[in-house]
């Protein structure tokens, strides 16, 4: 069993990010058994859940003349325009049915502000609006996290680098992650995580 100061952060293992979903990550469902097994070793488990309202500003459908996966500029910086996904209360937003959600101590929902996307489990994409996760970890005396989930090059990446910025010791277990792979987004994610001091565990 891991020490009491460690937590497992499980990022966005939701139907829309698994095969058949609106923003499917290749082999995304394959992380589920691995993550369920990992949960047995942690006292503290946090799940994050993408939770968008209809017509969210990160959806390509909200921008006339724009296509999915195009890059646009928002007031907070560059933003990839995604297919409509993880809409509040939808089946796509639900956790994968085989994920052992009963073991979670807390669920952090993110991306519910219609004007700002939220990749990270800690901050919205303006990099200053908190989700509450940092406060939760601090009150529980947690200073070390291992991160798994979907997708490696977006929500896992930003959660990991924000955790380092907040002073946490961070590892990403790549066997429990899968990526989207837009251009060289995976390579860029690995480089950025390493440079920020994240330990990448390669299975």
The C-alpha atoms of residue 166 and residue 156 are separated, in whole angstroms, by 15
**18 catalytic residue (yes or no):** no
**12 catalytic residue (yes or no):** yes
Chain centroid to CA 12: 5
The C-alpha atoms of residue 53 and residue 68 are separated, in whole angstroms, by 18
Of 18, 86, 155, 177, the active-site residue reads: 155
Angle, helices 157-165 vs 185-195, to 10°: value is 20
Of 18, 110, 134, 162, the active-site residue reads: 110
**126 catalytic residue (yes or no):** no
Structure-token match 């006339």, residue found: 64
Beta bridge partners of 77: 74
Who's near 71: CB < 8 A, 6+ residues apart? 78, 79, 80, 81
> Is residue 53 exposed (0-12), middle (13-18) or buried (19+ Cβ within 10 Å)?
middle
Residue 156 in tokens: 């896992």
Q: Which helix (H) or strand (E) holds 164?
A: helix 157-165
Of 12, 117, 153, 162, the active-site residue reads: 12
Positions marked active-site: 12, 110, 155
């Amino acid at each position: 069993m891991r020490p009491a100061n460690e937590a497992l952060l499980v990022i966005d293992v939701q139907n829309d990010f698994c095969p058949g979903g609106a923003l499917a990550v290749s082999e995304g469902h394959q992380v589920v058994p691995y993550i369920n097994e990992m949960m047995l070793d942690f006292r503290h488990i946090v799940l994050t859940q993408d939770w968008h309202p209809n017509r969210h500003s990160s959806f390509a459908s909200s921008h006339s003349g724009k296509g999915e996966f195009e890059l646009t500029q928002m007031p907070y910086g560059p933003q990839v325009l995604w297919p409509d996904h993880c809409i509040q209360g939808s089946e796509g937003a639900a956790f994968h049915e085989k994920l052992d959600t009963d073991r979670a101590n807390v669920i952090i929902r993110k991306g519910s502000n219609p004007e700002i996307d939220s990749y990270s489990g800690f901050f919205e994409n303006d990099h200053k609006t908190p989700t509450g996760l940092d406060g939760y970890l601090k009150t529980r005396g947690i200073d070390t996290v291992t991160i798994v989930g979907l997708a490696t090059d977006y929500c896992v990446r930003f959660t990991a680098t924000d955790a380092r910025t907040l002073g946490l010791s961070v590892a990403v277990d790549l066997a429990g992650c899968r990526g989207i792979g837009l251009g060289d987004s995976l390579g860029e994610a690995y480089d950025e995580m390493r440079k920020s001091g994240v330990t990448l565990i390669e299975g």
